[in-house]
Amino acid sequence: MVCGDPLEVEVEIEGFELTADGEANDGHVDFSLNGQGVAMVADLAFELPEVAEGTYVLRAELVTPDHLPLDPPSYDESTFECAPSACGVER
């Protein structure tokens, strides 16, 4: 169970350079929450503010600067529960 205010997200990536400048052979991470796009990030950590109580599937997918998936696709998904009772608890 996690606190959703904010939801802190971190990823580990190997063999892929995250950049926001659009150079060749780089890209960013597209994040979706329950299938809806929520962020395009060129960093290993970010926060989503005020994620409501509930169960979620967070998907992180490496994409090219023009938002196309890699070939083969490279992504990971995690299912978690968000609850106010987890806020303020040592993690």
Q: pLDDT value at position 91?
A: 44
Residue 9 corresponds to which tokens in the numbers above? 């997200």
- 73: which residues sit within 8 A by CB, 6+ positions away? 61
Question: Which residue, among 60, 68, 61, has the nearest Cα to 22 in the 3D structure?
Answer: 68
Query: What are 11-46's pLDDT values in tens digits?
Result: 999 989 898 776 666 899 999 999 999 999 999 999
Mean pLDDT of the chain: 88
Instruction: State both tokens at 8.
Output: 């802190």
Instruction: Calculate what percentage of the chain has a pLDDT beyond 70.
Output: 91
In 1-91, where does DSSP find H-type helix? none
CA distance 82 to 34: 13
Q: Rounded to an integer, what distance in angstroms lies between the CA atom of residue 28 and that of residue 26?
A: 7
DSSP state of 52: P
